[in-house]
Structure 1
């Protein structure tokens, strides 16, 4: 309670009491102002310190870290293959004339030596008759020359004729003998040409095309006219594959592979590697290999495109890393290894096979070693970074049930 004013007190006392109240109020105001100022300064200091800590934290680069994983001990290599028949040949005429008849057509199965067509050869027949007549004439003159030379040798022995005359008769006999051999060779040549009137199959197979008809003019040889037939033996198929250089060491004769075709989904056709080239193609850096498939059932067609699946075993697989983990520079390819304290070591590595999104590391990185998944080019050796784990993909949200 406030004491009641005494009317008997003098006015000076009242003045002193008013001044005391004023000083108290001023003191309280100063204290309040000081507290406000100190609080503001402390708040700014704390904010500055927090900002400094935050800035320092942001200055440390953040990288995503993962570990190297070994490649599989067995992997599938899929390559394109070109399917060809074991034997394939265009059939041309060996003599000129007109087609008399054909006996096989598209899709006909034939045996080696089977008659395919016959050709009329009037010019060859006439040449053969002329050659036989010439041969008969030369045989007669040759016999006469031989008899004459023998008689002149007898006369020379008796001294009746000169040596010069006897030598001339012997030379004439030798010339006639040579003419006789030439005439016989010409007749044999024409007989062979006449024998080519019969067009026969060189091997077992199937006629894949017929490009001639009765009465057509036939020219001998392969560069003048079209082929008469096309013969294919597809009982065994050859599959040619270009294997990239990194995979050549694990392939050998006898390696099994599977053939797959788009027109036969779900089917796998076993084939065997039977031949390998001794050198790489300088342009593609690949090795040509040949596989064989037993096609006696006739399921596959020559000329097809195939996917060739090799199942390759790797006894000592190497680590594989994403291609984005590599840093390229003047010192070659490097990997940013990250220690547990965040310290970075730029390690030079040797790359093996390139799988596109992944590369094989054959030297410089061991399995389960941590490294930066996608390091920036500004990363330096010895730099300290903040480690971030790779993001795990979120599972897809369940779809609402359709009504």
Structure 2
């Protein structure tokens, strides 16, 4: 009986099986390491993107003590005295002696008006006076004679009284003629147009040969004379700061045509009323003009010292956000979270804003906030830009 034996396993196949398993294990470990590295890189990338998504902001620098400050307001400079000189008599301009820019003394002749019609009236008035004086003299002599005749009963008393009355009427006619002559003499004096006070001629609106009419409402003044040794400064002060206008206060002012030069003005009065049209109080200041550099009509930038209420916070204008909710300011809250504050602007001073509602004294205000900034956003404070308050 024969027995068949199974052939023995191939020794090479037995040797390959552990190697394949090892390779599979290495591949699995390598894949796991690769996946772990990719996951780590992904998480790092997410963190980096999230970190870059957090906006970096700067905090507004403090503006210093706000117990008092100055506000720049427009002002208008005018002459201390300015007088338009009109013709008091009708006639033709015979000559003019002073032009614009000329300095004149009080009573100095500016122009001469030729008045032929007035001259004729004056001569006629003198003749009327002479005739009235002659009539009065005759009536007086006649009255005296009739009084002598009355003493001898040669005339009646009534006739003597009539002659006395005629003498009195003649005397009154003399007074009337003399008054009319004096009036015309006064008008003759107005042929010479004179300066009412010492000053500078700022306008000349006439020339030789011009016809001028007295008491014309539409006629331009022949001359304008202004006293500019000192000037008046007018400033419209907003109603909110009307209480800061106090007697004796001084202001500093500059004019565009003299850059770098500052002038001082002293309060001499105010309107003591707020204009309904502008909502402002008109204040008047006196400004010395010894060198004559200030001109009537000059525009001035006036630095007005104003006392500010303790409840008002002054911030740079760059912190303001204008949105549908109205004016807002972004402040830094706990955990560097953005908090939006609705504020009320008491006064816009150009580079600064005065806020009387909505801010707290210890608020950390974000300067130049991005347009996309919203309440609750986490922000990063730029290095070296955080205020002394530190993190909440």
Q: Please report the TM-score for the alignment, with normalisation by the length of structure 1.
A: 0.68
Instruction: Mark the CA change 1:55 to 1:220 in structure 2 (over 3 Å): closer, same or farther.
Output: closer
In structure 2, the residue corresponding to 1:267 is in which secondary structure? coil
* Structure 1 residue 94 displacement after superposition: 0.9
Matching of residue 385 in structure 1 with residue 378 in structure 2: yes
- Measured in 1, the distance between the counterparts of 2:208 and 2:36 equals 114
In structure 1, the residue corresponding to 2:272 is in which secondary structure? coil
Q: Gaps spanning 5+ residues in structure 1: where? A: 1-10, 148-174, 393-403
Q: Please name the residue that 1:5 is paired with.
A: none
In structure 2, the residue corresponding to 1:309 is in which secondary structure? strand
What pairs with 1:136-175 in structure 2 (closer than 5 Å)? none
* Structure 1 residue 21 displacement after superposition: 0.5
Correspondent of 1:192 among 186, 196, 202? 186
Instruction: Mark the CA change 1:191 to 1:390 in structure 2 (over 3 Å): closer, same or farther.
Output: farther
Q: Please name the residue that 2:286 is paired with.
A: 292
Q: Please name the residue that 2:350 is paired with.
A: 356
In structure 1, the residue corresponding to 2:262 is in which secondary structure? strand
Instruction: Mark the CA change 1:42 to 1:107 in structure 2 (over 3 Å): closer, same or farther.
Output: closer
- Measured in 2, the distance between the counterparts of 1:200 and 1:377 equals 72
Q: Please name the residue that 2:226 is paired with.
A: 232
- Measured in 2, the distance between the counterparts of 1:56 and 1:35 equals 31
Q: Gaps spanning 5+ residues in structure 2: where? A: 1-5, 144-168, 386-392
Residues 203 and 223, structure 2, Cα contact 8 Å, conserved in 1: yes
Q: Please name the residue that 2:59 is paired with.
A: 66
Matching of residue 29 in structure 1 with residue 23 in structure 2: yes
- Measured in 2, the distance between the counterparts of 1:266 and 1:70 equals 24
- Measured in 2, the distance between the counterparts of 1:268 and 1:52 equals 60
- Measured in 2, the distance between the counterparts of 1:80 and 1:95 equals 41
Larger mean CA deviation between 350-359 and 63-72 belongs to: 63-72
Matching of residue 203 in structure 1 with residue 217 in structure 2: no
Q: CA RMSD in A?
A: 4.8
Q: Please name the residue that 1:4 is paired with.
A: none
- Measured in 1, the distance between the counterparts of 2:351 and 2:252 equals 25
- Measured in 2, the distance between the counterparts of 1:299 and 1:354 equals 32
* Structure 1 residue 303 displacement after superposition: 3.7
Q: Please name the residue that 1:257 is paired with.
A: 251
- Measured in 2, the distance between the counterparts of 1:117 and 1:96 equals 13
- Measured in 2, the distance between the counterparts of 1:100 and 1:18 equals 144
Residues 63 and 375, structure 1, Cα contact 8 Å, conserved in 2: no
Instruction: Mark the CA change 1:315 to 1:134 in structure 2 (over 3 Å): closer, same or farther.
Output: same
Residues 67 and 368, structure 1, Cα contact 8 Å, conserved in 2: no
For this pair of structures, how many residues does the alignment match? 363
Deviations 1:231-286 (A, max 9, x none): 22112211233445555443334221234345545433322122323345555554
Correspondent of 1:341 among 322, 328, 335? 335
Instruction: Mark the CA change 1:182 to 1:49 in structure 2 (over 3 Å): closer, same or farther.
Output: same
Residues 60 and 316, structure 2, Cα contact 8 Å, conserved in 1: no
Instruction: Mark the CA change 1:296 to 1:22 in structure 2 (over 3 Å): closer, same or farther.
Output: closer
Q: Please name the residue that 1:96 is paired with.
A: 90
- Measured in 1, the distance between the counterparts of 2:120 and 2:22 equals 147
- Measured in 2, the distance between the counterparts of 1:225 and 1:386 equals 71
Instruction: Mark the CA change 1:385 to 1:292 in structure 2 (over 3 Å): closer, same or farther.
Output: same
Residues 71 and 349, structure 2, Cα contact 8 Å, conserved in 1: no
Q: Please name the residue that 1:275 is paired with.
A: 269
Q: Please report the TM-score for the alignment, with normalisation by the length of structure 2.
A: 0.70
* Structure 1 residue 101 displacement after superposition: 5.6
